[in-house]
Amino acid sequence: KWRKVGELSDIFVFPVKSLGCIRETAIECTPLGCKSGWLRDRTLMVIDLSGKFVTGRQLPRMVQVIPNVAGSVLTLRAPGMMTISIDLAQIGSKTFKAAVWSQSVPACDCGEEVARWLSRFLLQEDTGLRLVYYSLDGPCRDVRENNRGFPLMEKSDAVSYTLMNEASINDLNTRIEDAVVPLNFRPNFLVKGAEPLEEDSWDWIKIGGVLFRNVKPCTRCIFTTVHPELGVKDPKMEPLKTLRTYRLIEDPDLRPYTKDNPVMGVHMGLKGPNGVVRIGDPVYVGIADADPVTSPP
């Protein structure tokens, strides 16, 4: 019942939300996302002094901060800055509540030195930002209200993976003047060999031997307009402007949730045991089973 649609061509891990990526040739897939030792996807984030998380939507230069993880040590580098390192194993266990999309998550503060470093690079101030770490092994947030229209979201503990199709990006680039790259969309997985926009119809997805379920399309925002290397927004609001001409959801039941945000790529949840995916792995799709949560097609 499986049909091969392509192969895995790239793997991106974002240890800190909105900062740069680490490219991997292989990665373990867990219910909470990509993991390789201490390297875990989006388990750190930058917050302001009120405890609210900040993103590249507000501070586009965040994408210029490039992370690296060696053992338990996270190192950050950015243009014009000395590198800074934080040992995640040494971060205290005392947590406080940080705000993500109006929901509270438990987080541990990473200290004064990295807070000052981030504030200086992103705000040109000595204070204003903090780096925090989410070290738990289970999800801690409810499904956001604007995702509740998608039936599978109601049963998903975590929607921890984003997949993009190279052909869909290439198709987009025929419609805009200045080409974009996969990192404009910040996916975890990039697939080559599929037809443009074919991923919209995928249900069960298997990468190598690891099983995922397509939970919902990725709604896209102004972050897609940020140049992944330069850290500046496109003055023409591309590719968001063009995506709105052909990638808005028309379904009247779903449109109240997505509004005028176009979709590109898919959000997936891990539906089988943990497993490792590698660049070059075949990517298969299948048809939904009558009991989709317990058995693949």
Closest of 74, 72, 71 to residue 19, by C-alpha = 74
Report if residue 54 sits inside a domain: yes
Asked if residue 215 and residue 123 are part of one domain, the reply reads: no
pLDDT recorded at residue 251: 84
Residues 10 and 148 in one domain: yes
Q: Is the pLDDT of residue 103 over 90?
A: no
In the chain, which ranges are E strands?
3-13, 22-24, 26-30, 33-36, 39-40, 44-48, 66-70, 73-77, 84-87, 96-100, 103-109, 129-133, 161-165, 189-192, 204-207, 210-219, 263-270, 275-278, 282-286
**Domain end point (choices 85, 102, 133):** 133
Domain assignment present for residue 138? The answer is: no
Q: Are 41 and 15 in contact (CB under 8 A)?
A: yes
Which strand ranges, in their side-by-side order, compose the sheet holding 103-109? 44-48, 129-133, 103-109, 96-100
pLDDT tens for 37-87 read: 999 999 999 999 999 999 999 999 999 999 999 999 999 999 999 999 999
Average pLDDT over residues 1-15: 97
Say if strands 73-77 and 66-70 run parallel, antiparallel, or are unpaired. antiparallel
Please provide the average confidence, as pLDDT, over all residues in the chain: 89
pLDDT at 139 over 60: no
What is residue 230's predicted lDDT score, i.e. its pLDDT? Answer: 98
Residue 177 sits in the same domain as residue 266: yes
**Whether residue 21 has pLDDT greater than 90:** yes
Section 125-135 average pLDDT = 93
Confidence of residue 159 (pLDDT cuts 50, 70, 90): low
Q: Are residues 23 and 159 in the same domain?
A: yes
User: Do residues 34 and 284 touch, judged by C-beta distance below 8 A?
Assistant: no
Model confidence at 175: pLDDT above 90: yes
Q: Tell me if 293 is assigned to some domain.
A: no
Q: Are residues 104 and 160 both part of a single domain?
A: no
Residue 107 falls inside a structural domain:
yes
Domain endpoint, select from 82, 98, 133: 133
Q: For residues 230-239, give the mean pLDDT.
A: 98
276 and 151: one domain?
yes
Q: Is the separation of the CB atoms in 69 and 38 below 8 Å?
A: yes
Q: Describe the chain by its helix, strand, coil percentages, rounded to 5.
A: 20, 35, 45
Q: What confidence score (pLDDT) does residue 256 get?
A: 79
> What does the pLDDT read at residue 275?
97
Does position 295 have pLDDT exceeding 60, yes or no?
no
Residue 212 contacts residue 206 (beta carbons within 8 Å): yes
Instruction: Decide if 270 is inside a domain.
Output: yes
Regarding whether 274 and 158 lie in a shared domain, the answer is yes
Residue 182 DSSP one-character state = G
In this predicted structure, the answer to whether residue 182 has a pLDDT above a threshold of 50 is: yes
In this predicted structure, the answer to whether residue 147 has a pLDDT above a threshold of 50 is no
**Counted domains in the chain:** 2
Q: Number of C-alpha atoms within 13 angstroms, CB side, residue 170?
A: 11
Span of 10-14, 173-177, 269-273 with lowest mean pLDDT: 269-273
Threshold 0.85, pTM exceeds: yes
Task: Tell me if 101 is assigned to some domain.
Answer: yes
Range of the domain at 97: 36-133
Decide which of 81, 114, 133 is a domain's last residue: 133
Q: Which two tokens stand for residue 253?
A: 């039941």
User: What's the confidence (pLDDT) of residue 252?
Assistant: 83
273, 196: one domain:
yes
Same domain for 24 and 158, yes or no, is yes
Mean pLDDT of the 7-25 span? 98
Judge if 121 and 169 occupy the same domain: no
Look at residue 181 and tell me whether its pLDDT is greater than 90: yes
CATH of the domain at 197: 2.40.33
Mean pLDDT over 7-34 rounds to: 96
Assess whether 45 and 129 both reside in one domain: yes
Would you list the DSSP string of 1-28?
A: --EEEEEEEEEEE-SBTTS--EEESEEE
Are 258 and 184 contained in the same domain?
yes
Q: Which of 35-39, 195-199, 226-230 has the lowest mean pLDDT?
A: 35-39
Report how far apart, in Å, the C-alpha atoms of 262 and of each of 65, 126, 206, 228 are.
27, 37, 25, 20
Residue 193 lies in a domain: yes
Task: Please check whether residue 261 lies inside any domain of the structure.
Answer: yes
